[in-house]
């Protein structure tokens, strides 16, 4: 069902017989996708945004350039939990003076401000939850948001590649759960198609979205059987923030 996941590539790379190049690329891709939970966590731990930015980039540089790959414990199973553990250790060891690792190593980081602007990602939760959430919980919450974002983004790209971006835009907000107030007729009128077409396409998009979401989660676990468990874990994190 799943192609080789990124995390599985990373784990394979941790073994000396694994493809190091692919492992590195896979890890870099994971880092590019999941930097926000790390950044959120570091900030929640009390660092200023500027420092958190530096720490986050240093952290990812560290895991990409050092033997962190070899330290990845296959028994851990999940990239998320290992990443969290690693950043906790990293913060514990970080000095009070600014450290800058020599950057490079084939990994190009997008300029920070470009991240801020080009990929806005606004996470909104109630103040009460925000104040009470432990950093680890916020980390999970951000992780969940990232997973959802990634799945939606991929779905959008697939629709766009087939010239159906308009359709995606019209149905995007209805992908999850049934909306009692949805008017297929109105949407169809806007798109110039019958309501039956709308219904069918919504079902199609929803199916594909589910698949993409599971695929996103799968890329962060070693065992496909862990996907449901990972999703439930993230749902629990969200429930705690409700």
- Looking only at residues 159 through 218 of this chain, which bind another protein when binding is defined by CB under 8 A? 159-160, 162-167, 169-170, 173, 175-179, 189-193, 197, 200-201, 204-211, 213-214, 217
For residue 215, what are its two tokens?
């695929």
Closest contact distance (angstroms) between CB of 145 and another protein is 5
Torsions phi, psi of 93, nearest 5? -95, -5
Per rule CB under 8 A, count of chain residues that contact another protein: 96
Closest contact distance (angstroms) between CB of 220 and another protein is 12
Closest contact distance (angstroms) between CB of 116 and another protein is 5
Residue 151 near residue 213 (C-beta atoms within 8 A): yes
Judged by CB under 8 A, the chain residues 104 through 143 that form the site for another protein are 111-114, 116-117, 120-127, 129-131, 138, 141-142
The residue from 15, 48, 74, 183 that contacts another protein (CB under 8 A) is 48
Asked whether position 241 contacts another protein by CB under 8 A, the answer is yes
Residue 106 near residue 24 (C-beta atoms within 8 A): yes
Angstrom distance (rounded) from CA 129 to CA 186? 37
Cβ proximity to another protein, 71 vs 126, nearer residue? 126
CA–CA distances in Å: residue 35 to residues 3, 32, 140, 204: 23, 6, 12, 31
Closest contact distance (angstroms) between CB of 104 and another protein is 17
Asked whether position 46 contacts another protein by CB under 8 A, the answer is yes
3-state secondary structure of 78: strand
* Overall size of the chain counted in residues: 242
Candidate segments 3-11, 25-33, 71-79, 90-98, binder of another protein by CB under 8 A = 90-98
- Report the phi/psi class of residue 68: left, alpha or beta, with left for phi > 0 and alpha for psi in -120 to 50: alpha
Residue 166 near residue 236 (C-beta atoms within 8 A): no
Cβ proximity to another protein, 85 vs 166, nearer residue? 166
Closest contact distance (angstroms) between CB of 14 and another protein is 27
Judged by CB under 8 A, the chain residues 55 through 84 that form the site for another protein are 55
Angstrom distance (rounded) from CA 194 to CA 64? 51
Go through 54-92 and write b for each residue having 16 or more CB atoms within 10 A of its CB, e for each that does not: bbbbbbbbbbbbeebbeebeeeebbbbbbbbebbeebbe
Q: How many CB atoms lie within 10 A of CB 114?
A: 10
Cβ proximity to another protein, 12 vs 47, nearer residue? 47
Asked whether position 17 contacts another protein by CB under 8 A, the answer is no
Angstrom distance (rounded) from CA 237 to CA 143? 10
Closest contact distance (angstroms) between CB of 162 and another protein is 5
Asked whether position 3 contacts another protein by CB under 8 A, the answer is no
Candidate segments 65-73, 77-85, 102-110, 224-232, binder of another protein by CB under 8 A = 224-232
């Amino acid at each position: 069902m799943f192609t080789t996941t990124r995390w599985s590539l990373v784990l394979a790379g941790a073994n000396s017989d694994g493809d190091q190049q692919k492992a590195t690329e896979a890890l870099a891709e994971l880092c590019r996708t999941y930097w926000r939970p790390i950044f959120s966590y570091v900030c929640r731990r009390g660092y200023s945004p500027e420092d958190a930015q530096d720490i986050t980039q240093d952290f990812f540089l560290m895991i990409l350039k050092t033997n962190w790959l070899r330290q990845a414990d296959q028994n851990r199973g999940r990239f998320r939990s290992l990443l969290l553990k690693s950043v906790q250790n990293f913060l514990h060891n970080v000095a009070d003076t600014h450290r800058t690792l020599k950057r490079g190593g084939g990994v190009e980081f997008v300029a920070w401000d470009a991240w801020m602007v080009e990929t806005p990602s606004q996470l909104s939760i109630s103040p009460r939850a925000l104040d009470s959430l432990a950093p680890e919980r916020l980390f999970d919450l951000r992780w969940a948001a990232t997973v959802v974002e990634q799945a939606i983004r991929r779905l959008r790209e697939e629709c766009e590649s087939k010239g159906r971006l308009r359709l995606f835009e019209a149905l995007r907000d209805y992908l999850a759960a049934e909306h009692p107030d949805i008017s297929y007729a109105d949407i169809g009128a806007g798109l110039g198609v019958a309501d039956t077409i709308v219904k069918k396409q919504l079902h199609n998009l929803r199916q594909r979205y589910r698949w993409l979401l599971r695929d996103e989660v799968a890329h962060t676990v070693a065992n496909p059987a862990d996907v449901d468990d990972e999703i439930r874990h993230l749902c629990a994190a969200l429930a705690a923030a409700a």
